[in-house]
A and B are shown apart, each in its own frame.
Chain A
Amino acid sequence: MTELASRFIAIPDVLSTSPVLAIGLTLSAFFVGNWLFARLGKPLWMPPVLLSAVILSAVIAVLSIDYVRYQEGALWITVLLGPATVALGIPLYQQIHHIRAMWLPIVVTLPLAATMAAVYAVVIAWAMGATPEVLASLAPKSVTAPIAIGITEQLGGSVALMMGGLLITGVVATLFVDLLARWLPVEDERILGFALGLNGHAIGTARAFEISHTAGAFSSLGMGLTGVFTALILPLVFRL
């Protein structure tokens, strides 16, 4: 009987040797998170990403599954982020007439806003006594994850801290865009989408597609341009 019990306890550990467990847990948390989000009345301060991630983390901790092993299994899901980024080119093309009509505001806003997104955070953290390693991890906070990883490594920051900053930035950027849109006010979906993608990368873009197809396309554009611009500029600035 005790043998059966010990085998029962070992189940999560044995199953986690296959990626199927990580995929099953991630998918379950995704659906539970979405269901809970709808039940809670779609609160802006608790987006489905955060809700699902909290549930998933709790389950991983409770079942004491090795975190590194979970990430290895979850690679089956995260590799799709590459083709998904390419897929953003399709709404971008479908909205190209909107983008052409707005090329001047975009060209002026992008370098300024993308630079300030990094500068505000780095200057505040520096003034509060953060180490250079932390500063390097915060700098790419508005850049989409695959590009940000490359930038952080180049600058000598911590990828784990950067990913944390990225998540928080994405969530609060989504919140602040919704908040400031009402407060300023800004109603133009194109501006909201662009601000979501520029500041809140993939998390902001996921939110923008909830607003409308146009907002989503502008968000994809903002995210892509910010990623490219920051990747080119930041390593040069940090060398100074």
Chain B
Amino acid sequence: MPMLRGFLILVLFFLLGEAMRVLFLLPVSGGVLGMIFMTLSLMLRGRVSEDLATASQALISVLVLLIMPGVVGVFFMASQFSGQWLAVAVALLLGTFLSVLTTLLIMKGMLRLSSRGRSND
């Protein structure tokens, strides 16, 4: 029962997110809006209920299961982009390598900068 009660809260926040998306023609998905609302409401409330903690842990632990059917689609994709596979592959591999490197370097640099700034204060 606690799991189902928590799940209901998650579903309600998701529906709220979807409703806001439709109402204000937002380009962001209902799930992400729901996640933002969830974080904000928890900040206001100041604690996480047992129900919500149980349900969220259960769902997060099977995140991989939930994305699997989408991943399967790749293997059944029609060969409508033949001749461009090399461009796609290089763009994905090299592009992702560069963007991961960029993220880590900026984040590392910024963290060092902000900690130095604090120690100078």
What residues of chain A lie closer than 8 Å to B53, measured between beta carbons?
Answer: 90
- Does B111 contact A169, Cβ atoms closer than 8 Å? no
Main SS of the interface on chain A? helix
Known: A80-B66, A84-B60, A124-B91. A154 touches B35 (CB 8 A): no
Main SS of the interface on chain B? helix
Interface: A134 (CB within 8 A): yes
- Does A224 contact B35, Cβ atoms closer than 8 Å? yes
- Does B103 contact A186, Cβ atoms closer than 8 Å? no
Partner of B63, one of A84, A94, A180: A84
Partner of A89, one of B7, B34, B101, B107: B34
What residues of chain A lie closer than 8 Å to B91, measured between beta carbons?
Answer: 120-122, 124-125, 128, 130, 138
B residues 45-99 in Cβ contact with A at 8 Å: 48, 52-53, 55-56, 59-78, 80-81, 84, 86-99
Known: A89-B42, A91-B60, A231-B27. A177 touches B104 (CB 8 A): yes
What residues of chain A lie closer than 8 Å to B17, measured between beta carbons?
Answer: 86
B residues 97-114 in Cβ contact with A at 8 Å: 97-108, 110-111, 114
A residues 188-216 in Cβ contact with B at 8 Å: 188, 191, 194-195, 198-199, 202-203, 205-206, 209, 216
Q: Which of A90, A146, A150, A165 has the most CB of B within 10 A?
A: A90
- Does A52 contact B64, Cβ atoms closer than 8 Å? yes
Q: What per-residue 1/0 map shows which CB atoms of A51-67 lie under 8 Å from chain B?
A: 01110110011000001
- Does A124 contact B76, Cβ atoms closer than 8 Å? no
Known: A83-B7, A121-B91. A205 touches B63 (CB 8 A): yes
Query: A217 → chain B, closest Cβ, in Å?
Result: 10
Q: What per-residue 1/0 map shows which CB atoms of B19-44 lie under 8 Å from chain A?
A: 00000000111111011111100110
Query: B35 → chain A, closest Cβ, in Å?
Result: 4
- Does B29 contact A150, Cβ atoms closer than 8 Å? yes
What residues of chain B lie closer than 8 Å to A57, measured between beta carbons?
Answer: 72, 75-76
- Does A163 contact B43, Cβ atoms closer than 8 Å? no
What residues of chain B lie closer than 8 Å to A46, measured between beta carbons?
Answer: none
Known: A93-B43, A198-B103, A202-B63. A56 touches B14 (CB 8 A): no
CA of A162 to CA of B91 in the docked complex: distance in angstroms? Answer: 13
Partner of B10, one of A87, A91, A198: A87
Query: A35 → chain B, closest Cβ, in Å?
Result: 13
* Residue of chain B at shortest CB distance from A205: B63
Known: A92-B35, A227-B32, A231-B27. A145 touches B59 (CB 8 A): no
What residues of chain A lie closer than 8 Å to B32, measured between beta carbons?
Answer: 85, 144, 146-147, 224, 227-228
- Does A173 contact B70, Cβ atoms closer than 8 Å? no
- Does B67 contact A134, Cβ atoms closer than 8 Å? no
- Does B74 contact A191, Cβ atoms closer than 8 Å? no
- Given A116-B102, A198-B103, 6 other A-B contacts at CB below 8 A? A83-B11, A113-B107, A117-B103, A129-B87, A151-B27, A184-B104
> Can you give 19 A-B contacts (C-beta < 8 A)?
A26-B68, A53-B75, A70-B72, A78-B70, A82-B30, A83-B31, A84-B10, A86-B14, A87-B60, A91-B60, A104-B110, A113-B99, A116-B102, A117-B102, A124-B87, A128-B91, A134-B84, A231-B27, A231-B28
